Amino acid sequence: MFSRTKDTFPKCFRKSLQTLSGKQCCENIQGPATVIANLAVYERESTIKNQLTLEALDSFLVAGVFPDPTEDWLAIQNDRKSTLASVCLKNGLLKLRSKSDSHVASQLFVEHKHKFIYCEVPKVGCSNWKRTIFLLQANLNAEASEIEHDHIHQTSLIKKLVAYPPAMQKEFLNNYTKVMFTRHPLERLVSAYRDKLLHSEPFYSVTVANEIRAMFRKDKNSSEKVSFQEFVNFIVAKPPNSLDIHWKPMFLLCDPCNIHYDILGKYETLRLDSEHVLKVIGAPKSLHFPNLKRYGSEKRTNGDITLEYLRQLNSEQIEKIKKLYQMDFFLFNYTMDYEDYFSLND
């Protein structure tokens, strides 16, 4: 099976997407049928802009040009789970324990109406997933856009697994559909820096920023914004388990080696994976995963922006962040060759 996160589309394929549309594209691209079929799965709004729409894909399916995208999606899910299980076993990450780790249980949101558990990984669409969970469990005729960012992160209406006794936690984990989403570790890191250190959130732009300044600046009273280099030096100096959830390794947040997630979604295929999740849990057909952004006027962190920040780091810093996120790279099948990855994906 072709792995988008490991190898991405061939350059000739991407160039064809930029210059051709619809059936022309299919007729001019040579390669394995699975590669072409995976276009339906790897539709990414931020990179393949209006080149080949889902409507066009649907018409090709009717004509028999592509195989069933649901079957393709399930095959990719199996590949993701197989990779994860293999890495878990190889690295001794499987544990025998009677109850869930409280830190992990604090990341798991429970929606009882549709028997759904979502692991929150910040900077991987979690605000929109919380909006979705809120709408799933509330009998409200509301739109996701009506739910403010701060409200969705502060509401007590969305319950965490940690709020339940161990026996109930075990029951929910055994019987509910469990989902987690991941993102390329370095893109997630840059996104966290831009979101938390460059904006005016008091805790991050003041408290955390002052801690970083105190560690790395001679002038402790300097008010200049924390640089990306300082931010990286700060996080690699701390034990991984003690890191803030916005840049803590994803596998430590969700413990996928010991919680067997039914669906492993990716930010790179967020829209499609999310729609499949909603279908699997039996969500109303009228409910669609939202595409809302907190800072609407600002460009989302993409490959070009990620490369811009990573190129500010020296080789020692790069190696340290690769080591910090090593298990995320391995478990979720992301490449460490970030220059090629982001150059091809944007």
Q: What would the mean pLDDT of 42-66 be, rounded to a whole number?
A: 45
Predicted pLDDT of residue 292 = 62
CA dihedral 164, 165, 168, 172 (to 10 degrees): 40
Predicted pLDDT of residue 8 = 41
Higher pLDDT, 320 or 294: 320
pLDDT at 323 over 70: yes
Q: Confidence class of residue 247 from pLDDT cuts 50, 70 and 90?
A: very high
Q: What would the mean pLDDT of 296-317 be, rounded to a whole number?
A: 90
Higher pLDDT, 171 or 289: 171
pLDDT at 42 over 60: no
Higher pLDDT, 294 or 171: 171
Structure tokens at 140: 């409200």
Selection from 2-16, 161-175, 279-293 with the highest mean pLDDT: 161-175
pLDDT at 43 over 60: no
Q: Confidence class of residue 291 from pLDDT cuts 50, 70 and 90?
A: confident
Report the share of the chain in percent with pLDDT over 70. 72
